[in-house]
Structure 1
Amino acid sequence: MIKPFKTILTITATIMLAAFTQLSQTPERPKYDSQELSDKEGIPVIMKHLPDWKNKVNEAIFITNSADLEKALGDRPIFEQIEFVGGAEAVAANYPEGRLLIVEYASPQASSETDSAIRMKLAESSPTPPIFYKRIGNYNVFVFDGDNETAAIALMDKIKYQKVVRWLGRDPHVRRRAEQSFIKTTSSLFVATVIVIVSGLGISVLLGIIAGFIFFGIRERKRMRMPTFSDSGGLTRLNLDELTPPIGPDGMLLKD
């Protein structure tokens, strides 16, 4: 009777030990509910695109919904144009230039549509203090509560979108890029042609002046080497028209 009881007790203890071991080995749930986490730091990749991110990562706020966005930056009318759909996420951090917000969308289409809505909203109203905005790849970037536009733009320029953007359908900007490329190429060709023509004319004039000076110098040196002479009184003229009176032995004209 005791032996079966010991067997049951041993089996129960073994099962409990295995369960405890399994629970202890269960991976810890990630701190951030992000679409893309950094393998090394375990933080959302978007946070690593903050300017000076190593010093800002501990105070930066990761955002995945409108409620968190309003909690982090307050209730702002421009936030009506931002929708956290399709895996969109954002990060906010404070800088001397202002409060920076980066919103990332999973596709360029979503980012482009949000960009159009934001620009239209900003054109309709003039918020005070001003909102500085820029689209960088799939990032829609804001600087709030700043009063220096140059500093805000410089802060946004530090953000680099390093992912490859692929449109799921036809790229709506392909025609505009083609037009810009054509204009740039044509302008460069026109400027290069004008420069070549003007340079050719300038070089021709310069070479002509140099050749003229050389030719004049050669002629002048030849003239200086020629002996000085005078034909005074020794001029010979054929008196075919019989208008010139005869010349005497002393070189004087004879009179009738």
Structure 2
Amino acid sequence: MRRLFFLFLLLFSVSFAEAAQSRWNGPSSGEISEEDGIPVLVKHLPDWENVLPNVVFATDIETLRAGIGDKPLFDVVEFSDGTEAAAARYAAGTLVLIEYTNPQAAAYADERIKARIANFPPDSGLVYRKIGNYAAFVFDASDANAAGALLDQIKYEKTVQWLGEDPYLYKRFERYMVSTVKDIFFSTVLFIVVGLAMSIIGGIATGFVFYRLREKRRSALTAFSDAGGMTRLNLDDLSETIPQK
């Protein structure tokens, strides 16, 4: 009885796995979703569920060319081991998302792509952006703003860790130092100005209060004379003023 139960459980698991992967009939990927067997890269396309029937998934440049045609820059794009691409057509243009396996390969490809794009005319209809280890292209874009909005929907959700020396470490440190020095300078100037203003206001308030207390004290004093009521010099300003007749 126990053997029959385990056999039934095994058959159920296999059937469930086949049913989960039935939605994807394209090339196999090195990283697939455990829920439905769809490559994770495909799910990073904007609105991937609606464009899934038209998605082109490739692990080599020939498959990508066959799926969407030969596009500019494909001659400088290299598919090393593990590199994958997903493409789909949108209203803003044809989106191609190429994922490299490590930051070094992505940085190297980014340099080659930018060097090639520098020779393109402004109206080439191509919008490119590096997003993490992704090289994202929008081909045949009639509106650069719409293509940029399409690229904004792509989120790279993996942690990038350099195996060797980070080539952008110095730039990040430089930006951090500039930002930190600017914040410290602004905070110092603000502290000095506020402190000076508070000192002036506090000094004026203290002087006014002291003056009012002194005047109140003087007004409460009675006239004093050490000359038997005779008029004396009011050198200390403590005697009452003799009213004029």
Aligned partner of 1:137: which letter? G
> Which residue of structure 1 lines up, in the alignment, with residue 192 of structure 2?
197
1:32 to 27, 30, 33: 27
Any conservation in 1 of the 2:73–2:116 contact (CA below 8 Å)?
yes
CA distance in structure 1 between the partners assigned to 2:219 and 2:143 by the alignment? 76
Unaligned runs of 5+ in 2: 1-14, 223-229, 234-245
CA contact (8 A) 1:131 1:143 kept: yes
SS at match of 2:118: helix
Compared with structure 1, are the counterparts of its residues 64 and 203 closer, same or farther at alpha carbon in structure 2 (3 Å cutoff)? same
User: Which residue type is aligned with residue 83 of structure 2?
Assistant: A
Matches within 5 A, 1:86-101: 86-101=81-96
Scaled by the length of structure 1, what TM-score is found? Answer: 0.69
- Matching residue within 99, 108, 112 for 2:107: 112
Q: CA deviation at 1:235?
A: 7.4
Hey, what's the Cα distance between the residues in 2 that align with 1:113 and 1:44? 24
Q: Distance in 2 between matches of 1:188 and 1:92?
A: 44
Which residue is 1:54 aligned to? Answer: 49
SS at match of 2:204: helix
Contact kept? 2:106, 2:135, Cα under 8 Å: yes
* Cα distance, 1:111 vs structure 2: 0.8
Pick one of 166, 181, 188 that aligns with 2:183: 188
For the Cα contact (< 8 Å) 1:32–1:44, is it kept in 2?
Answer: no
Provide the aligned length of Structure 1 versus Structure 2: 207
Distance 1:149 1:120 in 2: 20
Residues 236 and 212 of structure 1: is their aligned pair in 2 closer, same or farther, counting only changes over 3 Å?
Answer: closer
Residue 125 of structure 1: CA displacement?
Answer: 2.1
Structure 1: any 5+ residue segments left out of the alignment?
A: 1-24, 228-233, 238-256
Q: Compared with structure 1, are the counterparts of its residues 101 and 31 closer, same or farther at alpha carbon in structure 2 (3 Å cutoff)?
A: closer
Following the alignment from structure 1 to structure 2, what is the Cα–Cα distance between the partners of residues 105 and 55?
Answer: 25
Cα offset, 1:141, TM superposition: 0.8
Q: Is the 8 A contact 2:110 2:135 kept in 1?
A: yes
Give the C-alpha shift of residue 196 in structure 1.
1.5
| Residue identity matched to 1:82 | V
The answer to whether structure 1 residue 68 and structure 2 residue 27 are counterparts is: no
Partners of 2:26 and 2:57 within 8 A in 1: no
CA distance in 2, matches of 1:181, 1:65: 39
- Residues 1:130 and 1:203: Cα distance change in structure 2 (over 3 Å): farther
Name the larger-Rg structure.
Answer: 1
State the secondary structure of the residue aligned to 2:28: coil
Secondary structure at 1:150 match in 2:
helix
Match of 1:80, SS state, is coil
Identity %: 40
> Alignment RMSD, CA only?
2.9
SS for the counterpart of 1:79 is: coil
Structure 1's 167 and 214: CA in aligned 2 closer, same or farther, altered over 3 A?
same
2:177 equivalent to 1:176: no
Equivalent residue runs for 1:205-220 within 5 Å: 205-218=200-213
Cα–Cα, structure 1 residues 154 and 216, in superposed 2: closer, same or farther, change >3 Å?
Answer: farther
TM-score (norm 2): 0.71
Per-residue deviation at 1:222?
A: 5.8
In the alignment, is the contact (CA less than 8 A) between 2:56 and 2:68 conserved in 1?
Answer: no
2:89 and 2:176 mapped to 1: Cα distance?
38
> How far apart are 1:205 and its partner, in Å?
2.4
Residues 203 and 175 (structure 1), Cα distance of their counterparts in 2 relative to 1, 3 Å cut = same
Deviation at 1:107? 1.4
CA contact (8 A) 1:99 1:145 kept: yes
CA distance in 1, matches of 2:186, 2:149: 31
Residue 216 of structure 1: how far off its partner (Å): 4.7
